[in-house]
Amino acid sequence: MYLSSYIININIGNSNLLVNGINGHVDLISSYIAKLLQNKDFKKINRNILNRLINRHYIFNNIKEEEIIYKKTEKDVYYQLVNDKKRSIIINFSEACNLNCVYCTSKKRRKNKRMSIEHVDKIFEFIKKFYKRFRFNKNIILFGGEPLMEKNSSLFNYLLKKILNTKFKLFIISNGVSINKYIDVIKENKEKIARFQITLDGPPEIHDKKRYGLNYTKTFDLILNNIIELLKLKIPITLRSNMEDSSFYHLHKLVKILENKKIDRNKYLKPYLALIHTYHLKGTSNPITQPVKYIKKFRKQSEKHPELLIYKEKNLYQYPETFLMNVINKRRNIPRITPCNTAGAKVFVFASDNKIYACESSVDIKEFVLGEYFPRIKWDKNNVKKWKNRCSTKMRKCKRCPLVFICGGGCSLDAYEKNKSIMKPICDGGIENLKEFVKLNKDRILKLINK
């Protein structure tokens, strides 16, 4: 008999949790059986238990049987990936920004080139041309740079006119400092605004040290006032707070400010915690690789400051933790071989340099170019093929990992930034974090499994 190499065996109290990376099964077994499995002492395992482990594909007769199951899963998931017609549209008017946030990954590539009205027309010609071939998301995302810089007002107004008689709405990702310059046009066209995402990284004394610009030395109060104006218009806002050590212990002060402004429970405001990537910042640990550390901190802080519970702990989960809780809560769990929609060429980012990129944060990186849309459409076939194959089962480092159908291969931009290739992924310590997560949530997990 052959013990699957895609098992994660996690101790949980007096038992062990078996996570099957090929088919996504999760089972609770005794520590005694777990030890026999680890030692591959199959003869001592009770026949009924052994048969169940075989049926659940923890044990095979030989490695070839495992390869058959692996290839079938890979084929099914990859078929769904390449045949999925859904596409997201992201428009970057410009990479220029009026802030210089300390953790921004794009500022080293920032240029002041800006789109023209003709560029916007070409984007909609592209949409019309491929409308039957692709299923475009109804929300067009505005990104940057900062899309609502005052210099972009004519582009923004023109874009609103273009979508006026279409199914599309705008999801605007903004730093929030210049929304007041646009508030009248937003009010006039609010039925075409799906949502804003705006960031506040803590109270003023924390936020203003991170999110500032040449003409914006203090941004907290300005952004908060603009958020309040949007809420008056009943426009949904995702309020993002980027988490790392210097801001985490001050987050409750931000919530208190929201309470004082009587917007903490506003139904149009959705507070959201985000663990950010800080590989590029010297002398910092990378929060995205330490989700359990921040979950612990969040719980501890929430006990002292219950108001923090307007944020959701699950926002701090990474792919393995989300997968595990979905399975245990008996929710449908779909195998994952890509970390996000950028992998698989599912995102079209239209930039001011005439090119279409695979990731909104990758403008000016050649390897991320899918093609051009201006002055005419031209695909980069080699890059399109590469992005369709940017999945965990196609990357050597991921193929034999138990998380191959759970993690998805990690962030493409991180891989490029560190290894200069999207096909050389960075491991975020998923297995170690999953074990820590189980240890932290032992009682809750056992209760759900035994329900």
DSSP state letters, 269-281: EEEEEEEPP-TTS
Where are the alpha helices (H) located in 106-189, listed in sequence order?
A: 117-129, 153-163, 183-188
Tell me the two tokens of residue 407: 């993690």
Is residue 372 over pLDDT 70? yes
172 has pLDDT over 90: yes
Rounded-to-integer distance, Cα 404 and Cα 392, Å? 6
| Rounded average pLDDT over 352-381 | 96
Tokens 């290894």 identify what position? Answer: 419
* Burial (Cβ within 10 Å: 0-12, 13-18, ≥19) of residue 331: exposed
Q: Helix (H, G, I), strand (E, B), or coil: what is residue 150?
A: helix
Q: Name 178's Cβ contacts closer than 8 Å, sequence gap at least 6.
A: 98, 146, 148, 149, 150
What is the pLDDT confidence band of residue 280, given thresholds at 50, 70 and 90? Answer: low
State percent of the chain over pLDDT 90: 84
Whether residue 285 is predicted with pLDDT greater than 90 in this model: the reply is no
Per DSSP, the residues of 305-340 read -GGGGGS-GGGG--HHHHHHHHHHTT------SSSS
Lowest mean pLDDT among 44-58, 94-108, 156-170, 270-284: 270-284
**pLDDT (average), residues 57-85:** 93
pLDDT at 197 over 90: yes
Which of 39, 50, 44, 145 lies closest to 100 in space, CA to CA?
Answer: 145
pLDDT band, very low/low/confident/very high, at 182 (cuts 50, 70, 90): very high
Angle at 411 between CA 405 and CA 412, to 5 degrees: 105
Q: What single string gives the DSSP state of each residue in 334-370?
A: ---SSSSTTTTT-EEEE-TTSEEESSTT-TT-GGGEE
Residue with token string 């002041």? 112
186 against 249, higher pLDDT = 186
Rounded CA separation 149/146 (Å) = 6
C-alpha–C-alpha distance, residues 337 and 345, integer Å: 13
State yes or no: pLDDT of 164 exceeds 90. Answer: yes
List domains and CATH numbers for the chain.
2-79 (no CATH), 86-328 (3.20.20.70)
In this prediction, residue 436 has a pLDDT band, given cuts at 50, 70 and 90, of: very high
User: CA–CA distance from 302 to each of 7, 28, 270, 313, 411 (Å)?
Assistant: 34, 30, 18, 10, 30
One DSSP character per residue, 214-268 reads TTBS--HHHHHHHHHHHHHTT--EEEEEEE-HHHHTTHHHHHHHHHHTT-TT-TT
**Mean pLDDT, to the nearest integer, of 285-291?**
85
CA distance 98 to 415: 28
Place of tokens 């990376």: 21
**Tens-digit pLDDT profile for residues 80-135:** 888 899 999 999 999 999 999 988 878 777 788 999 999 999 999 999 999 999 99
- Kindly give the pairing relationship between strand 347-350 and strand 355-357: antiparallel
- pLDDT at residue 282 in the model: 67
Is the CB of residue 330 less than 8 Å from the CB of residue 24?
Answer: no
Length of the chain: 451
Cβ contact 93:114 at 8 Å:
yes
- Alpha-carbon dihedral of residues 90, 95, 98, 103, nearest 10 degrees? 90
pLDDT of residue 358: 96
Model pLDDT for residues 297-350, shown as the tens digit of each residue: 999 999 999 999 999 999 999 999 999 999 999 887 788 999 888 888 899 999
Q: Cα 76 vs. chain centroid, distance in angstroms?
A: 23
Give the closest residue to 144 by CA, choosing from 204, 97, 194, 207: 97
The pLDDT-based confidence of 283 (bands split at 50, 70, 90) is: low
